[in-house]
Amino acid sequence: MDQDLSRAHSGRMETFESLVRAEFAPKNIYLNTASTGLVPARTVAALRTAVAASAAGEPTDMFGDVEASRACFARLVGVPAHRVAAGASVAVYSGLIAASLPEGAEVLTAEGDFSSVVNPFHVRPDLKVRAVPLERVAESVRPGTALVAVSAAQSADGRIADLPAIRQAAREHGARTYVDASQAVGWLDLDADTYDYCACVAFKWLVCPRGVAFLVVPEDLGGLTPVFAGWVAGERPWDACYGPIDELAHSARRFDESPALFSYAGARRSLELLEELGVDTIRAHDLALADRFRTGLAALGHEPVPAPGSPIVSVPGLGHRQPELSAAGVEVSDRAGHLRAAFHLYNTPADVDRLLDTLCG
């Protein structure tokens, strides 16, 4: 039986590696997915097809691509597709949620969280926005807190929020939860059904073209007013092109932005690839590489920001090495003086070793 399991595991890994090799061939050591993910070959082909067809006056069904992308994302985060809105920006969806809050409402956030998550609440001077250290978010929810807004994984250093504790504390105090999963979906097993709102851009760990984002809302639509509703937000969009919309979509589609159609033509293929590979397999692959890097850093005398279980590794004091690393063909980020490396499905142990060798050299 153990031999059968071993063969099955080996077969899965061979399939994973062959799929990745077929889709990605970077010309450098690319360790910057936390900024922008690499686009797979099938997505590039779909974009070319869509552009060429439009140039020929025979456009493909890109609205069909939007719906296929919506459904695929919904499966990845464990919700029905009718609870997913399709757009282009987390900041827009943060603004939508901010606009729904009553005057004087308290919003609890994590210190130093990504601006697209928190800034839309700050531009409303009638809201009370309170920021606390990430590890204290759950214990800081209190009576009167209306919303807890936090990233599942921090962009700057990869630290993972204690989402179950935050969810429990919010429920105990009657607060809603808003999770930005932009640095998580694609490797973290995230159940969006357990939060009120969950937003995510797709050009990072979901390896989609820029211009694609999603928002998950509750079954009751979460008390949100579709303040930017255009014709695509109609229950029958093609009958909602002129004048006020008679009937808004009964689903989360009432919160759709007018889609960047070419981006969605590609996103459909990227999301299908992630489903083929499997998030569990991707997570195991990514975390093994991150752990290899952490072990190598310790041997070099460097200590990264503690972020167990994250594929994002941030090393204080080494951000200034980013230009040198880039010149050597190793792409990482400089974030607030920290060197940030992000390991994803197209990376290999050899990539980790090249980064360590370059840092050592």
Inside any domain, residue 2: no
Which distant-in-sequence residues (6+ apart) come within 8 Å of 99 by Cβ?
A: 124, 225, 227
Domain that holds residue 325: 9-39+277-360
- 15 has pLDDT over 90: no
Q: Kindly tell me the sign of the dihedral angle through the C-alpha atoms of 94, 100, 104, 105.
A: negative
Residue 146 parent element (H or E) = strand 145-151
The answer to whether residue 30 is domain-embedded is yes
- Contact in structure between 73 and 202 (CB atoms under 8 Å): yes
Do the Cβ atoms of 29 and 19 come closer than 8 Å?
no
Q: What is the pLDDT of residue 19?
A: 93
Q: Assess whether 264 and 301 both reside in one domain.
A: no
**Residue of 254, 224, 219 lying closest to 236 (CA atoms):** 254
Indicate whether 44 belongs to any domain: no
| Pair 96, 227 in one domain | yes
Q: Write down which residue in 254, 276, 298 finishes a domain.
A: 276
Q: Mean of the pLDDT values across residues 123-130?
A: 97
Residue 76 lies in a domain: yes
Output the pLDDT for position 13. 66
* Residues 92 and 113 both lie in one domain: yes
Q: For residue 38, give the 3-state DSSP assignment.
A: coil
Is-contact 215 70, C-beta < 8 A?
no
Same domain, 17 and 87: no
Q: Does one domain contain both 192 and 86?
A: yes
| Total number of domains constituting the chain | 2
CATH number at residue 99: 3.40.640.10
The CATH number given to whatever domain includes residue 300 is 3.90.1150.10
Specify the 3-state DSSP secondary structure of 310: coil
Give 228-270 as a DSSP string. Answer: T--GGGBSSGGG-SSSS-SSB-SSGGGGPPPP-HHHHHHHHHH
Q: What string of DSSP letters covers 154-213?
A: -TTT-PBP-HHHHHHHHHHTT-EEEEE-TTTTTTS---GGGSSEEEEESSSTT-PPSS-E
> Which of 11-15, 122-126, 162-166, 169-173 is predicted with the least confidence, judged by mean pLDDT?
11-15
The pLDDT > 70 percentage for the chain reads 96
Domain identity same for 290 and 272: no
Q: Are residues 154 and 300 in the same domain?
A: no
pLDDT of residue 346: 98
Do residue 161 and residue 76 come from a single domain?
yes
State whether 184 and 332 are in the same domain. Answer: no
- Quick one: pLDDT at residue 322? 97
DSSP annotation string for 82-142: GGEEEES-HHHHHHHHHHHSPTT-EEEEETT--HHHHHHHHT-TTSEEEEE-GGGHHHH--
The long-range contacts involving 165-171, CB below 8 angstroms and separated by at least 24 positions, are: 165/138, 166/137, 166/138, 166/141, 167/194, 167/195, 168/138, 169/138, 169/139, 169/141, 170/141, 170/145
- For residue 4, the model assigns a pLDDT of 54
Are residues 25 and 62 part of one domain? no
Residue 310 domain-assigned? yes
Q: What was the pLDDT predicted at 5?
A: 41
Q: State whether 330 and 352 are in the same domain.
A: yes
pLDDT of residue 115: 97
Looking at the structure, tell me whether residues 130 and 257 fall in a common domain. yes
Among the candidates 260, 276, 292, a domain finishes at 276
Give domain status of residue 4, yes or no.
Answer: no
Whether the pLDDT of residue 336 is over 90: the answer is no
**Residue 17 is assigned to a structural domain of this protein:** yes
Q: Does some domain include residue 336?
A: yes
Domain boundary among 276, 300, 322: 276
Instruction: Please state the pTM of the whole predicted model.
Output: 0.94
